[in-house]
Structure 1
Amino acid sequence: MNPENDSLFEFPCDFPIKIMGKSHPEFAATIVEVVRRFDGDVDASRVETRPSSSGTYTGLTVHVRATSRAHLDDIYRALTGHPMVKVVL
């Protein structure tokens, strides 16, 4: 069985990635830069931002154009390895 075909998604597809990290003035811009290494068409104006109730953390939703499962995995690895990021869903 081909792992590329063993997926719930049909690629390419638009895919929302949720990222949470400590609130910081450059958090959203930094995350967009990381994602743009994999999807140069990411639109920063479409990034959804939600502060936590205490304001300590910020949640972002970034929409990417995923071309394969490996492409998504690369984006997730880059995000989870970034020091500003606490959680990626």
Structure 2
Amino acid sequence: MTTEKTTLLEFPCEFPLKIMGKQAEEFAQTITQVVQQFAPDFDPDTMEMRPSSTGKYMGLTCTINATSQVQLDDLYRALTSHPMVSVVL
């Protein structure tokens, strides 16, 4: 019996993360720092930013070079527990 988790992804792969939070001046910079802790080669110049129609929220798309499921799981945990983040997809 194997205890390995199965994943549909083949690593390494390009993996987009969609992060939403309340509009704040330092939101993108803070998220970049969190992402780079787990994906040091992430280029912040590739980050896509979209404000909500009301301007109250900001949506970011960060595409990283994912190397393992563990890396993605750890990054998701760090982002979802961050006080500036509302949702991570």
Q: Same fold (TM over 0.5)?
A: yes
Q: In 1, distance between residues paired with 2:88 and 2:71?
A: 15
In structure 2, the residue matched to 1:77 is 77
Please report the TM-score for the alignment, with normalisation by the length of structure 1.
0.94
Shift of 1:81: 0.7
Unaligned runs of 5+ in 1: none
Q: In 2, distance between residues paired with 1:39 and 1:46?
A: 13
In structure 1, the residue matched to 2:13 is 13
Residue identity (%): 57
In structure 1, the residue matched to 2:22 is 22
Q: Which whole-Å deviations, capped at 9, do the CAs of 1:10-54 have from their partners, x for residues lacking one? A: 011110000000000110010000010011111111000000000
Shift of 1:59: 0.2
Q: Is the aligned partner of 1:31 residue 2:31? A: yes
Q: In 1, distance between residues paired with 2:64 and 2:74?
A: 12
Please report the TM-score for the alignment, with normalisation by the length of structure 2.
0.94
Q: How many residues align?
A: 87
RMSD over aligned Cα atoms: 0.8
Unaligned runs of 5+ in 2: none
Instruction: Please identify runs of 4+ aligned residues in structure 1 that moved more than 4 A.
Output: none
